[in-house]
Amino acid sequence: MLMGIGIDLCEVARMREMIAREGFLERFFSAQERAYIAARGAAAAQAAAGCFAAKEAALKAFGCGIAMPLREVAVAHDALGAPYYAFTGEAAERMERLGAKHMHLSITHEGNMAAAVAVLEG
């Protein structure tokens, strides 16, 4: 059963400016995400923009706005590079409280934009 859907866009140039700020990555990204972003080298801002869009898309699918630390709405990648959510803390509790089974994630990049779609399944 479909319980929620969210979509978000993030500008890569804006993310490049934000990740240059002291403490930005630590505030909004999990340790695993920070390692992934750092490993992307010249594409770090693009990777961060995709992850950030995914976080905001998840919050929209939850129907809650920014009601939890964004570090707890983490994006991980499987062996083939496909993204998936790795919820912790309040995000994991919200999944349980809603009785949700899974939140699907798709991320795409085009030019200076990154987009993400989240689908909450119950």
Decide if 101 is catalytic: no
- Write down the catalytic residue from 77, 101, 104, 109: 109
- Write down the catalytic residue from 60, 101, 102, 104: 60
Sheet harboring 2-11: ordered strands across?
2-11, 113-121, 102-110
Decide if 77 is catalytic: no
Q: What single DSSP character describes residue 25?
A: H
CA 45/CA 62 separation, integer angstroms: 26
**What are all long-range contacts of 83-89, with beta carbons under 8 Å and residues at least 24 apart?**
83/50, 83/54, 83/107, 85/54, 85/58, 85/118, 86/30, 86/32, 88/30
Active site residue ranges: 60, 109
